[in-house]
Amino acid sequence: MIGVFDSGYGGLTVLKEFVRQLPQYDYCYLGDNARAPYGCRSFETVYRYTLECVRHLFRQGCRLVILACNTASAKALRSIQQRDLPLMAPTGRVLGVIRPSVEAVGGCTQSGTVGIFGTAGTVLSLSYPMEIAKLYPHIRVFQEACPMWVPLVESNEHQSAGADYFVRQHIDRLLEQNAEIDTVVLACTHYPLLLNKIEQYTPARIRIISQGNIVARSLQDYLHRHPEMEQSLSKNHARIFQTTDSPEMFDRYASIFFEEEIKSVRIEN
Ligand code: DGL
């Protein structure tokens, strides 16, 4: 199976694209809803929680795990890849969402000025500025942490009138940093749920990059370049949903993200 992990519901925006573009594979989604959000937590805590969840997915029979969470990708991916994976699952792979998003940035900006919306954890990690500098040293990067956006989504308030205030506030703050920003990355897998409000308050000349489609295309490319991994993956169109919190709550809410009925099970972490 392909494991897909997020702190809560946000990774479902990525899984939805995987299923749309690569429907043949079996997927096991794990949302750590009991401990979400991750965005405000320390490096050590995000690393520990993410590692526990990744280990669980490998025990379930996954060979490939995607961290469909920017915060976990920023704070835990490298340590897991370098330190834990060789012992935990020597033939397994763990991939994140930051690298594919960064690759996409280069082809989008004309002004060479990019904005990043993310959780406080992602922004403070400086992962985006550092990764962009490696691939595109000429691009200037401005960041804005949006601590209210994930709680709005996780509490199903993202369509409410109250959400407009916080959406607009962070867009304005980012654009005040530099008037030449012509591309913004929604560097949190929860944010596509706020897309219509983000579009509403973002000037039309600015390109908005959402991650689902980009990460799905990058996975497709990865599997193409790694036939031994591709051949080892089961292909029965199975979808398994797991949560660390109440499955009833997960099913009710996750189907809004996934746009299909979901039947999840609770796992103990
Ligand atoms: N969806 C996660 C991300 O992409 C973060 C949500 C959280 O704060 O837990 O960063």
Is the beta carbon of 75 within 6 A of some atom in ligand 1?
A: no
What does the domain layout of the chain look like in residue ranges?
2-96+213-266, 99-211
pTM confidence score: 0.95
110 by Cβ neighbours in 10 Å (0-12 / 13-18 / 19+) ranks as: exposed
Q: Which of 28, 53, 69, 146 is catalytic?
A: 69
Ligand 1 centroid from CA 11, angstroms: 8
Residue 40: what pLDDT?
92
* Residues 255, 90: Cα–Cα separation, whole Å: 34
H helix runs in the chain, sequence order: 12-21, 43-59, 70-75, 77-79, 85-88, 98-106, 120-125, 127-135, 149-154, 161-177, 195-201, 211-225, 227-232, 247-258
Is the beta carbon of 119 within 6 A of some atom in ligand 1?
A: yes
Helix (H) or strand (E) holding 112: none
Ligand 1 atom 2: the closest Cα is on which residue? 69
Inform me whether the pLDDT recorded for 269 exceeds 70.
no
Q: How confident is the model at residue 167 (pLDDT cuts 50, 70, 90)?
A: very high
Task: Note the CATH number of domain 2-96+213-266.
Answer: 3.40.50.1860
Query: For the segment 150-166, what is each residue's pLDDT rounded down to a tens digit?
Result: 999 988 899 999 999 99
Inform me whether the pLDDT recorded for 67 exceeds 70.
yes
Closest of 223, 228, 188, 209 to residue 74, by C-alpha:
188
Closest of 129, 131, 200, 123 to residue 161, by C-alpha:
200
Residue that the structure tokens 């996934």 belong to: 258
62 is catalytic: no
Ligand 1 atom 8: the closest Cα is on which residue? 39
Inform me whether the pLDDT recorded for 20 exceeds 70.
yes
Rounded mean pLDDT of 194-207? 97
40 is catalytic: no
Ligand 1 centroid from CA 73, angstroms: 10
3-state secondary structure of 153: helix
Sign of CA dihedral 76, 82, 84, 85: positive
How big, in percent rounded to 5, are the helix, strand and coil portions of the chain? 50, 15, 30
* Residues 92, 58: Cα–Cα separation, whole Å: 8
Q: Which fold has domain 99-211?
A: Rossmann fold (3.40.50)
Domains 2-96+213-266 and 99-211 are alike in CATH topology: yes
Hey, what amino acid is at 228?
A: E
Query: For the segment 222-243, what is each residue's pLDDT rounded down to a tens digit?
Result: 999 999 999 999 999 999 999 9
How far is CA 55 from its chain centroid? 18
Above pLDDT 90, what percent of the chain? 96
Q: How confident is the model at residue 259 (pLDDT cuts 50, 70, 90)?
A: confident
Mean pLDDT over each residue of the chain, to the nearest integer: 96
